[in-house]
Structure 1
């Protein structure tokens, strides 16, 4: 049996979540916009409950949760949705980082092509971006600062609390892409200074196709986002369309479970990390990213002298791992994240990402090592 070690790409759906989703797909299938009968009211109630469950993870109010199809859509709404405000106020400067997911970098490229100036701060060799360097880039005409909470390739946690403190008295909006971090690193995302947070359900054992944008109010004013789609008033006019009640209910329950089971999940993932490191020790792996700043369930490493594609083929049927972001895995381009970290190109080419969950099965590491050694002697 293949052991799944690609949880940063997607997680399995928790059975408790799957059971709830099926209930709203097959039994309580009403439209949350139907206000005239009890079946529609039941759907409304499910959405309201989920909104509250998501809000509790980041300490925001229920009405600050906007349901989306995932973090990619949330990132697009957060960044492209601020463009009109930037044009209205003359604030056409944006600060972000060179290690963001393409779901942030590509909207920023679109903004740059329409006249916005984008500054991308590079990380240090450990994969961490300096909060001080980001804050130093902020100018009077800066519209938004956007930084991921944790990197999708290395698992390195970025200094969100430090950035919040540095930006305390500055006017730019702060957007955090928390696709990899929502429900996994909790206090860091609860800071009131964060204006916008993007989250994705399928990273926390909910179904694919659902996520959320947290849009915190400053005082009584919401972030001035312009909707990217029109055609309905759902989600405070920011995301029109019939709400996928079953998926939203699943996201809500998954969020609640992530919060209540957080400590146990973290401990389990940290213990598993030590198993992985012990198992691969005979191959002398080069780990990318300082352990003290890396999420417990992610390990990015290179095996000296070995191409990542060859290793993945050798492990086929034993381990399912990746060599980068699932969203760009078809391109086989060198990782822009590891390149920005200024790692040697041989390490970039040989990098593997192993990521697991609190439910991941044990691995026959002797077999895994033997298969890789066969590559060396072939």
Structure 2
């Protein structure tokens, strides 16, 4: 692993002064200043093409990509050559799901198990396969927001090709029981795909389970730049999952994902990965302090927790305040905090959360849901002012 840049934890902040406190890390995180410095170095100075073998510029770029591969691999205890760089978790999920189609068709294995609470980056590729004749089975969550391993076991069939379960739900922050699901699959040859966009760099051990074959991650969720991610494709013995590429031309990434490698973005993701791994304990401690203080401030309002709070990551809360509509709350708080009421990928045209609806919550609770998420650099959260303004909406 590369030496992580020297800097005190939270010594610098990317947030502008006098701006609302940013509590929407699940949508995207601010780029860590140490990462930004690395990216600019490879944009402005070390600009070589990693595929150029005839000069030192290309060689240095190639070495930085190799180093970043090792930095990403270290977070999930993968081998360096099991890391394939992509444009982000959405592309990685598409490659993992659609890339399995030919193998499913060739072997007659057309059954896929997933969940009703997946991100659209998983649900929409599954719809494409369903239109091609695959049998896609979406399991409902418990009212705590997680999918039961027993439900996965009951759905498993001899012709099951793929099981796709996210690591952490992007709306509720609920951690899914990956270890238990991996145990269910221990005697079956179905491939196990995990969308880890919200977990990579935040949960360490759950993503290191060797039974997870395909792992999709994104750089901009952990202080890295947008436009870069990876698909970790673990081997079983000496055999890699039988993925077919979705694009062609150039043969980069061992023929699985062509295109000139964005060295600056890859370098940034490598540094962000190394920082996340090295600072895990500090980040977890600070995130838990914020979570506990938010819960204490909102408790007098009769807050309803959307998702089992004991199974959520330290950096996310999804709550409904009785009598408060989420859109009204966002407007009332806009000069104080930046937050959301659902996935950023569908927020341009607000629709009731498919995640909370699948959990069986009443419509009023779904429409009132607020997602608060934070991370490194989050300080000075105005807990009491948030509660005061929401209390004011309750009295209207």
Contact 1:266/1:358 (8 A) holds in 2: no
The match for 1:276 among 294, 298, 301 is 294
**1:344, CA displacement in angstroms?**
1.4
Matches within 5 A, 1:149-164: 149-164=167-182
Aligned pair 1:94/2:115, yes or no? Answer: no
Q: Distance in 2 between matches of 1:293 and 1:250?
A: 30
1:236-282 Cα offsets, whole Å, 9 max, x none, are 11110000000001111111111111111111100110111122223
**Pairs within 5 Å for 1:131-142:** 131-142=149-160
Matched, 1:355 2:365: no
Q: Deviations over 1:145-173 (max 9, x none)?
A: 00000000000000001111111110100
Matched, 1:59 2:77: yes
Aligned partner of 2:305 in structure 1 is: 287
Deviations 1:313-360 (CA, angstroms, capped at 9, x unpaired) = 000110101000000111211100001111111110100000011320
Q: Who is 1:308 aligned against?
A: 326
Q: Establish whether residue 231 from structure 1 lines up as the match of residue 249 from structure 2.
A: yes
Structural mapping, 1:10-49, within 5 Å = 10-49=28-67
Find the aligned partners of 1:301 and 1:328 in 2 and give their Cα distance. Answer: 19
| Cα displacement (A) at 1:374 | 2.9
- Alpha-carbon separation, structure 2, partners of 1:20 and 1:191: 30
Q: Alpha-carbon deviation of 1:66?
A: 0.3
Aligned residues: 378
1:183-221 per-residue CA deviation (whole Å, 9 max, x = no partner) reads: 111100101111000000000100000000000111111
Q: TM-score, normalised by structure 2?
A: 0.94
Corresponding residue number in structure 2 for 1:371:
389
Picking from 330, 336, 346, the partner of 2:348 is: 330
Query: Is the CA contact (8 Å cut-off) linking 1:175 and 1:196 kept in structure 2?
Result: yes
Q: Which residue matches 2:24? A: 6
How far is the alpha carbon of 1:35 from its aligned partner? 0.4
Mapped contact 1:216–1:222 kept (Cα < 8 A): yes
Cα RMSD (Å) of the superposition? 0.9
Aligned residue runs from structure 1 range 182-197, under 5 A: 182-197=200-215
Deviations 1:351-374 (A, max 9, x none): 000001132022223322332233
Looking at structure 2, the residues matched to 355 and 280 of structure 1 have their Cα atoms a distance apart, in angstroms, of: 15
Gaps of 5+ in 1: none
Paired residue secondary structure (1:100): coil
TM-score scaled to structure 1, two decimals? 0.98
Q: How far apart in 1 are the matches of 2:188 and 2:275?
A: 35
Q: Which of 197, 208, 226 does residue 208 from structure 1 map onto?
A: 226
Alpha-carbon distance in 2 for matches of 1:130, 1:364: 37
Corresponding residue of 1:165: 183
Taking the aligned partners of 2:133 and 2:254, their CA distance within structure 1 comes to 28
2:391 and 2:69 mapped to 1: Cα distance?
Answer: 50
- How far, CA to CA, are the matches of 2:288 and 2:385 in structure 1? 22
Q: For 1:336 and 1:376, locate their aligned partners in 2 and report how far apart those are by CA, in whole Å.
A: 25
**Could you tell me how far apart the structure 1 residues matched to 2:98 and 2:114 are?**
14
- Asked if structure 2 preserves the Cα contact closer than 8 Å seen for 1:161 and 1:188, the reply is yes
Instruction: Give the structure 1 partner of residue 135 of structure 2.
Output: 117
Residue 99 (structure 1) shift: 0.3
Which range is displaced more, 29-38 or 327-336? 327-336
2:9 corresponds to which residue? none
Residue segments in structure 2 that go unaligned for 5+ positions in a row: 1-18
